[in-house]
Amino acid sequence: MTEQMLQELIEAEATAKIDAGWNEHIDTRTALRNGHRDQTLSTQAGDLDLAIPKLRSGSFFPSLLERRRRIDQAIVAGVRAA
């Protein structure tokens, strides 16, 4: 359940960044998606397999998964954001 919730938050953040949903063709779109890259996050409760969206131009890394942030703090932050 945690994995699904985090994945949905990551997808929502990517959609907000490019101003368009997946496969949505509108004039306000700022970038195109280019698949996903897999990332496994290890937590005390077990491993979470997430798919991080890639962009054709620019870069994207979800704010919930800051590189220097402990994953347990990221999960709590994700639950609060939801």
**Residue pLDDT, tens place only, 53-68:** 888 888 888 877 766 5
Beta bridge partners of 38: 51
**Residue pLDDT, tens place only, 13-51:** 888 888 777 777 777 777 888 788 888 877 777 888 888
- Rounded distance, CA 38 to CA 82, Å? 23
- Rounded distance, CA 26 to CA 20, Å? 7
- Rounded distance, CA 59 to CA 4, Å? 23
pTM value is 0.67
DSSP 3-state of 31: coil
Judged by phi (left if over 0) then psi (alpha if -120 to 50, else beta), residue 55 lies in beta
